[in-house]
Amino acid sequence: MTTQDLDTEEVADIYDELLATYRVEWAYRGHRSLHLAYYDDDHDDPAEASMNTMRVLSEAADVDGTDRVLNIGCGAGEDSIWNARAHDATVIGVNISETQLDLARENAREHGVADRTEFRYDDFQTLETVADGSVDLVWGLEALAHSPDKPQALAAARRVLDDGGRVAFTDLFVRAGATPSTADREQIGTIEEGLGLRLGAIDGFEAALADAGFENVEVRDLTDGIRPGLEDRKQFASVAHPVGRLLGAVGIASEAQLDGLEASARVHDLVEDGVLGYYLITADRSTSDGDGGDSVDDPAS
């Protein structure tokens, strides 16, 4: 696994480069989402399963029309728009890619929720544009795996939550009790470099939540539901990667696009090998001022 810091601009560049690949997936799935699809008996095609991931997380987070939601790592805005449309929530989405923020704003206008959504350039490690106690829910759909310092990201989340606020996340983690082999660690490194991630252990993340001042932590294992989508991604990569190598030789496909395809295939393999799992995590902001370490100054003051 990689231990070096992530450069924010490098992560943004990776996903801007990957947009060409994702546009192909969007055309196939019928929506603008970058996240993993969650399949069940009622949602068994790619578009429905991708929407289902958002549905499952929003139900776990108990989102309603009174909520002020902060969507960290909002991508092209699909889950922000989901919460605005399905629950009449007010949503702020933050991201470090201006390209994706422009797509999110366009997406919100097309779906008629521009009045209930706002998209800002901000790093969820610090949330400099978000005032203390100004949101009810911090929502992260496959965002925290991009954090090189998850305790810092959780401290920022706790700061911006109002009393009684909560967090809801889904993401990939190393399974509790898993001991990655040297080969596994090399594959994790390929994933991290190809997708701009820093993968940690789920049990370590649970401890980090408690240390940051969260309580009532609940963890659900959703791994089985993402397996069909991972299989699709691996099959797509098995076809696209060799073609991409040929196109890369003549300057049509970028190295980042090829690395992203390789990383997607490796995620599939490590999930099947029981090294990685996909989890849904919810927790409440503790009302004790003594939890969560030092406070962070209000950026709006």
Q: Quick check: is 292 in a domain? A: no
Q: Quick check: is 299 in a domain? A: no
Q: Quick check: is 19 in a domain? A: yes
Q: Quick check: is 300 in a domain? A: no
How much is the pLDDT for 137?
98
Q: Quick check: is 295 in a domain? A: no
Q: How far is CA 257 from CA 13, 21, 192, 261, in A?
A: 11, 7, 14, 6
CA count, 13 A, side-chain hemisphere, 195: 27
Q: Quick check: is 3 in a domain? A: no
How much is the pLDDT for 232?
85
- Residue 97 belongs to domain spanning: 8-285
Q: Token pair for residue 17? A: 């480069």
Q: Among 19, 23, 79, which residue's Cα sits nearest to residue 52? A: 79
Residue 140 in contact with residue 171, Cβ under 8 Å?
yes
How much is the pLDDT for 223?
98
**CA-CA distance, 32 to 173, in Å (whole number)?**
24
Q: Token pair for residue 152? A: 């810092």
Q: Domain containing 135 — which CATH number?
A: 3.40.50.150
Q: Is 168 helix (H, G, I), strand (E, B) or coil?
A: strand
Q: Quick check: is 293 in a domain? A: no
Residue 74 in contact with residue 104, Cβ under 8 Å?
yes
Q: Quick check: is 291 in a domain? A: no
Question: Which residue matches tokens 């594959």?
Answer: 187
Residue 293 in contact with residue 261, Cβ under 8 Å?
no
Q: Is 237 helix (H, G, I), strand (E, B) or coil?
A: helix
Between β-strands 90-95 and 117-121, what pairing exists: parallel, antiparallel or unpaired?
A: parallel
Length of the chain: 301
Contacts with 46 (C-beta within 8 Å, 6 or more apart), sequence order: 28, 29, 30, 37, 229, 232
- When divided into structural domains, the chain yields a total of 1
pLDDT in tens, the chain (301 residues): 554 565 666 655 555 555 555 555 555 555 555 689 999 999 998 888 989 999 999 999 999 999 999 999 998 899 999 999 999 999 999 999 998 899 999 999 999 999 999 999 999 999 999 999 999 999 999 999 999 999 999 999 999 999 999 999 999 999 999 999 999 999 999 999 988 899 999 999 999 999 999 999 999 999 999 999 999 888 877 766 555 544 444 444 567 677 877 898 999 999 999 999 999 999 999 987 644 444 333 333 3
